[in-house]
Structure 1
Amino acid sequence: MKLRQKLAVALASAMVVTAVPVVTMAASTNALLKETIKIKEDGSFTQITTANAVKMAFKDNQGASNEIFYLDLSDAKWEAKLFNDADHALNSNNEFQQIGTTDAWYYGAKGAALDHTNAIAKYELQDKSSMKVTVYGAQLSGTNNEVVLPVLATMTGADAKVAVVTRGGSTTATASEWVFATASEKKATYKVGDLPSFYTSGEVAELVLTETYTGSLADGAKITLEIADSDFRFEDYANVQVKGSYGFGNMTFTNGTDFTVAKGSDEGSVVITFNALSAANKAAQDSMGTLKVTGLKVKATTKTPEAGELLIDVKSDNLVDAKNDVAFAKIAEYATFIEMKDEKAVEIVAGRIKDVEFTIGETVEDSIVGGREFEIKLDNANIDYRTIIEKYSKNTITLPSGVTSFDELTNKQVKALNGQLDVAALRTADLLKDKVGSTSNVIIDEIEFARDKDDLIDPTTLIVTLNTGLQTNKNIDKMTFKLPVAVSVANKEKETVKITAEGRALETEVSTTAVTIVNPFNVETEALTVKVGLQKQKGGKITLTETDKDMIKKGDITFAVEKADSGISFSGDVTLATEGGIKNVEIKTDKAGESTTVTLNRTSKEAATISVEDFIVTVDRTVPEGSYDLKISGDAIDAYGESITIEDFIVVGTPNTQDITASNGLVKGTAVFEIGKTTYTAIDGTEKTMDAASYIQDPGYTMVPVRYVAEAFGVSEQDILFGNGVVTIFAGTRTIQLTNGSNIAVVNGAQVAMGTKVAIKEGRTYAPVGEIARILGISTAWDATAKTATFTNK
């Protein structure tokens, strides 16, 4: 069918539905007036007072309309003569009156001439198994909305049933069915409870017996259970218990007195005998009773029984449907499991911490072995070891000298602490639930962090030691953990975190997906290409785009070269741009030039973008050619200070012939210094600021600050060293040493005489303009009128 046709049909259907008024009808509340009645096989119910009846409450009818439905029988039949002879009132008030000579009757007040205006109901015989019933709405007004409909019938089978059948009629009646009478000599029905699982031994499911009628078990009963599988036998009859409920609810059943359990024809057979009730208990029973048999145990006759259902033959003349091959247990090989709370993985945004709750247990008794260890391991994530150690350490934490609080400890210092945990404190905080059943016994003795090759805490792994008494309990053991889990921002591209439990305490290794990782932001980059030995080179771009609002937290994002002391430093202003729902953002470069930091003073209200571009970078002459990684870190993107790496972000190359001369290795260009000014004109034409000014020294030498002349031609700050009155300059192909108060310069190891001595003024080293030009291998020109010294490197 084409889409247009489907839409047309859907619209037409909607119109039909909306055009038809909908009437919501309430259901009736139905029940048998009496419990199942014991009667002889072909017996009949001829008396209203002794027959069973269907009790129906039409609470929401309120006289609005008649209720029409059917009462259908099985293992019994309707007979007209029973209604024609019914002259005994249910409560001395009601009777059936035949309508003419038909097989139909009004049911209502005794002694009155009944018709549709005053009768409670009308019965119309359809056939031997079906009776049409009309309950008159006038009788259901006000609070009088309950009717009792007698079942006058003859038994044709063992267990007679009556059913309320609506057959689409005009009624609010609820369909129901009951056994209203029994002619069976059987004393009880039975059912088997939930099937337990075990391997070589265990307790089978409970056996529940329900009387077929009140008092059917009063004179006792006998049941034989025979194991169909030769791999097992019964054992330990002394712990079998019987508990009564309903009609037996106030009675106590004692093993050996009120019932006995004994070996049958062999060890695979057991006979349960229920003795007759005492006279007092018989008199006290007021309804059908139920008996629940528990504590019946079996044990394997072989070390490796076959897996599957444990089948037992149920034999008894006293039970309805006693049969062979009834499942009482599941035989399963030893196995363990791990499962998440609500069977769902936890969503964690990379860089954040969240609780993860999971359960480790056994599917078969004794699959978990006491006195042994197992490990809980995470991949792609860590346990929040800082929180766990601070709050739940088994040992007193001693802070190192100079550290005043736990928060001041570095991650490495925390990892060096003792990793043993206080198990009792974990239980109190509901991070661990490991009690055995309803007892005070526990499964776990110790929990501690594993340690790595450097003897530091391994935050991915916990070692769990189990109680040695675990094997003596007969429970299906399980342990529930709730651990704070930290997903590193470095794993933001990973999809999941798997949790694994393995070790000698567990029969099998088990694992499951514990966490679904949410990527908080995407990163786009444009590489920064720079050259060796040049200052303040500009370029590169990094853009962080949130995948949703509030993905980047309030705090800092720091950009730094992956390798410390690399010879690459940041300086100057960096361009910062934001888009979307983020505001109040700042950026700065630290004085040491090691990093550039973006500070977010609030989180975003919608997915936002942060762009950092035109990094200003100085590369000293010692930096080798190649690619360098950039590290992005900070508390705005990771709670643990973890980082992501932008590989090959900075590309360092050798300066080409357009940048330097072949002779001196310095940058080409012209720089101008003016006497008395604290600024100079750089080779790119921009004005640069100095913290020292050029001056004239008698008898007429023009003195310039050595550092700034060198920097003007590409010598980095790191290549200018000061110490003990000596300045050392690595300037292109030359290594120069100048000594305060001396007119001798050392150039590549050779002494060079200068016209005047080197001077230190206000912490800066000065040399004559002509001499510094000659030493650096560049040319100079002096303009006496403008009082400028022009340095040129061609």
Structure 2
Amino acid sequence: MRLLKKMAIALCSVAAIMSTNSSVMAASNAIIDIKDMIIGSTLGYKIVDGEVTKDGFNIFVNTTIPYANEQFLIHGHDVAFNANLYDENIKSEGTNETVDVKYLDSDSIRVAVSNISSDNMFMVPLFVEVTGENPSVEIIGNGGISSQMINLSQETVSDKNIKIKFGEKRNVPIEGEGFLGEVIIDEVVPGALKKPTTVTLNLETNSGVVFDIEKGQQVNLVGTAGFAGTKTVATVTEVIANDQQITIEFPSLDDNDIKGGISIVDIPVKPENRKVGVICDEIFVNVFANDVVQRGVVSEVVDYNVFLNANKKQKFIAGGQSERVKFSIVESVSGSLDDDLDLFVSTEGAQIVNFKEQTVDGINFNAVKNYNGDIVEIVGKMTDDFNSNIANNIELELELLSGVNETGEVIINVEGRNFDKILSLPIGYIENTVSVKNETANLEIGIKEQMAGKIVITESKSNVLEKYDQVIVELEDARENDIRIEDVKVEATNGLTIKHEIMGDYIVIDITRQSATAGEIIVSDMVFTVGQNAPYGTYDVRVSGSAISGKNEDFNGHNFNKAARDAIVVNDFAVLDKKAFVKPQVEVKEVVVEKEVVKEVVKEVVKEVVVEVEKDEVIGVINLEDKIVTRNNTIKELTANPVVTTDNNVLIAVRDIAKVFGLDESDVVFKGIKTIVNGNIEIEQGSDILNIGGFKLKMSNKVINLAGRAYVPVNYMALALGEKIEIENNFNK
């Protein structure tokens, strides 16, 4: 197939054709961009084993008027016309059209045409050798032929058949042992590397490194373009100049007549002086091949380091669908990760879900789950396939689900035994689409049908609360503390439609139609009955259900726990007024005493006197880090480490109550799961009720059992005993 290259001139179009290359030209100074060309290349003919063969490089002229007899010149710049090939006229078969091309000198030819019809095309052959850097041919117009300059290359033409460049750099540690980056030998013309090629690489003397290779060893070669798929080796034929220069021999390479490139990779180096290491920031190498010389940076010198990288941040909807994110654990240089190291991957702001065991770059990653089946971290263990000789870029993909209460950023954390610190990478940001506001429900103990409180659930945009999903509103611990929800009014706005039902402690709201614009669900006119035995204190409301969070299952009438796992918590929604609790005070009095005396009875009356004794206030100080309590400058070691809850409350072991508050050990009595202090203060494992002589107070945390020990909130125990306590948390200093 012959493909035309056209260009417009005043009265005709001039085009050039060479083999199967084609481009459209529409400027007065057109270009025929011939890529595979160097100084010495021939156009229009080839010389193979001394034989000259024409291969058809032509200018075509498309006429717009008939030419009876016209002549014009073609002048060459940085090309030489071949006199021996302009030996015959061109005549179209079946016509009397004639094109007569006459060689004038190496720079010029003359073209005479006759009997050319309008809207016809005639061909002018070019047989030239490229002699300079900017080859072109110029049509010198005459008569009906307009002038035209045709450049044969967009770029300056070299006299070299290869070019040398530098590709991907490889980092080398400051100790000096590593591998050089990529050196690329590109063909300028096809076949330039067909014969064996000698390449010399010379490290600059101030680099501080030398080649760590010997004569006869091999260097890896990787092909591109015409050599794509080629993986072969070059042989080291010489190592000289104190190991700073090597010469390698390429084998014969077949590019299938398509220009190709060869990358020299993985050449090992070592420090010239092990005590000094590398003394520069960049390693330069000079490369010599086929009379071409090029200097460039092949490596950068860096410290051992591991860092995290990601291409983009992902948006997460709090309580919405899970999102997949990709990130990389990157070694700055080979050896940054020990080959016996464990990696621990965790997240903040979102939970890892649906992770399957996988091995990446020789590291086996597996999920660690808690007793609920939730993934708490991913552990990566090195296998024998981990390559410590390269700077690894370990890419992981995680599926993350952000809870409804999460805000801010989603962060990936990676820990390792030899890391100076936890590696952290913000991988996404969280958008909160549901908010909850409330009016406090102030309730009285022992009163029926009290109307109080209001809850407003608001979308940030339309369709957040989806049809067929549920919203579940729960007053925590209501029924077990003798509080009942008797009735409630539930309304929706902006196109949202709902229906609701009270089920024990829960108000279950079904979404029957989604909103047109951001809507609200308003829970009001809440009617409560509070029993006589309800503890004083505050009660939270949890807003959950499948409409609130993707972590919650659809409610089926029974699975409240699974349908309400991820909830928006409204703290202190209901308040049961409590009386001020005052520790009983002891009064010291003198009373009437009757004394019997020999000989006579004397009745001695002593006036009643109230004696007020002032004493210094004693404050117990608990040091969480050192596991001690200090009272009156006396330090005692605690039996068990205090526990700090997620809401930053401190729990102490019930065995430490006496030490913390300066009591006698006999003042703390253990009866099964109950603990009785000073005879009138009672707590029970699993309960959040503090009973002080019949006065019930709801604590912010329950008494919990950890590893066989019971723990109680220390601030509530201090309140019951009328004591003060301080906490020193040195971990946060």
Q: TM-score range by the shorter chain?
A: 0.5 to 0.7
Q: Secondary structure at the match of 2:168?
A: coil
How many Å apart are 1:544 and its aligned residue? 1.0
Q: What does the per-residue CA deviation read over 1:751-791, in whole Å, with 9 as the maximum and x for residues that have no partner?
A: xxxxxxxxxxxxxxxxxxxxxxxxxxxxxxxxxxxxxxxxx
* Aligned AA (1:537): Q
How many Å apart are 1:516 and its aligned residue? 2.1
- Does structure 1 residue 314 correspond to structure 2 residue 291? no
- Comparing 331-340 and 599-608, the one that deviates more: 599-608
1:651 to 572, 575, 582: 575
1:233 to 210, 224, 236: 210
In the other structure, the counterpart of 1:447 is 366
In the alignment, the residues of structure 1 paired with residue 75 and residue 172 of structure 2 have an alpha-carbon distance, to the nearest angstrom, of: 46
How many Å apart are 1:648 and its aligned residue? 2.8
In the other structure, the counterpart of 1:194 is 168
Q: Following superposition of structure 1 onto structure 2, how do residues 501-580 of structure 1 map, counting pairs within 5 Å?
A: 501-504=414-417, 509-553=422-466, 554-564=468-478, 567=481, 569-580=483-494
In the alignment, the residues of structure 2 paired with residue 253 and residue 361 of structure 1 have an alpha-carbon distance, to the nearest angstrom, of: 28
In the other structure, the counterpart of 1:299 is 270
In the alignment, the residues of structure 1 paired with residue 60 and residue 568 of structure 2 have an alpha-carbon distance, to the nearest angstrom, of: 71
How many Å apart are 1:526 and its aligned residue? 1.9
Q: Which has the larger radius of gyration?
A: 1
2:309 to 339, 364, 375: 339
How many Å apart are 1:241 and its aligned residue? 4.0
Looking at secondary structure, tell me which structure has more helix per residue: 1
In the other structure, the counterpart of 1:616 is 527
- Does structure 1 residue 264 correspond to structure 2 residue 240? yes
In the other structure, the counterpart of 1:38 is 40
Structure 1's 243 and 550: CA in aligned 2 closer, same or farther, altered over 3 A?
closer
Q: Do the aligned residues in 1 keep the contact of 2:234 with 2:249 (CA within 8 Å)?
A: no
* Aligned AA (2:209): F
* Aligned AA (1:447): N
Percent sequence identity is: 19
Q: Do the aligned residues in 2 keep the contact of 1:556 with 1:600 (CA within 8 Å)?
A: yes
In the alignment, the residues of structure 2 paired with residue 537 and residue 172 of structure 1 have an alpha-carbon distance, to the nearest angstrom, of: 98
Structure 1's 255 and 463: CA in aligned 2 closer, same or farther, altered over 3 A?
closer
Q: Do the aligned residues in 2 keep the contact of 1:311 with 1:327 (CA within 8 Å)?
A: yes
Structure 1's 529 and 364: CA in aligned 2 closer, same or farther, altered over 3 A?
same
Q: Do the aligned residues in 1 keep the contact of 2:164 with 2:185 (CA within 8 Å)?
A: yes
Q: Following superposition of structure 1 onto structure 2, how do residues 389-400 of structure 1 map, counting pairs within 5 Å?
A: none
In the alignment, the residues of structure 2 paired with residue 291 and residue 602 of structure 1 have an alpha-carbon distance, to the nearest angstrom, of: 64
In the other structure, the counterpart of 2:510 is 599
In the other structure, the counterpart of 1:114 is 113
In the other structure, the counterpart of 1:463 is 379
* Aligned AA (2:302): A
Q: Do the aligned residues in 2 keep the contact of 1:582 with 1:605 (CA within 8 Å)?
A: yes
* Aligned AA (1:573): D
Q: What TM-score do the two structures reach when normalised by structure 2?
A: 0.57
* Aligned AA (2:465): I
Structure 1's 138 and 252: CA in aligned 2 closer, same or farther, altered over 3 A?
same
Looking at secondary structure, tell me which structure has more strand per residue: 2
Q: Do the aligned residues in 2 keep the contact of 1:34 with 1:52 (CA within 8 Å)?
A: no
Q: What does the per-residue CA deviation read over 1:507-559, in whole Å, with 9 as the maximum and x for residues that have no partner?
A: 87432222322212122222222223211001221111211233224333232
How many Å apart are 1:330 and its aligned residue? 2.7
How many Å apart are 1:565 and its aligned residue? 5.4
Structure 1's 115 and 197: CA in aligned 2 closer, same or farther, altered over 3 A?
farther
- Does structure 1 residue 361 correspond to structure 2 residue 330? yes
In the other structure, the counterpart of 2:389 is 474
Q: Secondary structure at the match of 2:121?
A: helix
* Aligned AA (1:642): D
In structure 2, stretches of 5+ residues that fail to align are 1-22, 26-30, 66-73, 93-97, 140-145, 553-564, 580-693, 695-733
* Aligned AA (1:235): D
Structure 1's 508 and 268: CA in aligned 2 closer, same or farther, altered over 3 A?
farther
In the alignment, the residues of structure 2 paired with residue 644 and residue 274 of structure 1 have an alpha-carbon distance, to the nearest angstrom, of: 68
In the alignment, the residues of structure 2 paired with residue 652 and residue 250 of structure 1 have an alpha-carbon distance, to the nearest angstrom, of: 78
Higher relative contact order (CA 8 A, sep 6+): 1
- Does structure 1 residue 203 correspond to structure 2 residue 203? no
- Does structure 1 residue 489 correspond to structure 2 residue 404? yes
How many Å apart are 1:632 and its aligned residue? 1.9
How many Å apart are 1:104 and its aligned residue? 9.2
In the alignment, the residues of structure 2 paired with residue 250 and residue 538 of structure 1 have an alpha-carbon distance, to the nearest angstrom, of: 79
Q: Following superposition of structure 1 onto structure 2, how do residues 593-742 of structure 1 map, counting pairs within 5 Å?
A: 594-601=505-512, 603-604=514-515, 606-623=517-534, 626-638=537-549, 639-640=551-552, 641-653=565-577
In the other structure, the counterpart of 2:681 is none
How many Å apart are 1:626 and its aligned residue? 5.0
Q: Do the aligned residues in 1 keep the contact of 2:350 with 2:410 (CA within 8 Å)?
A: yes
In the other structure, the counterpart of 1:139 is 121
Q: What does the per-residue CA deviation read over 1:673-705, in whole Å, with 9 as the maximum and x for residues that have no partner?
A: xxxxxxxxxxxxxxxxxxxxxxxxxxxxxxxxx
How many Å apart are 1:611 and its aligned residue? 0.8
Q: What TM-score do the two structures reach when normalised by structure 1?
A: 0.53
Q: Do the aligned residues in 2 keep the contact of 1:52 with 1:151 (CA within 8 Å)?
A: no
In structure 1, stretches of 5+ residues that fail to align are 1-25, 65-70, 108-112, 119-135, 141-146, 389-424, 428-432, 437-441, 656-732, 734-794
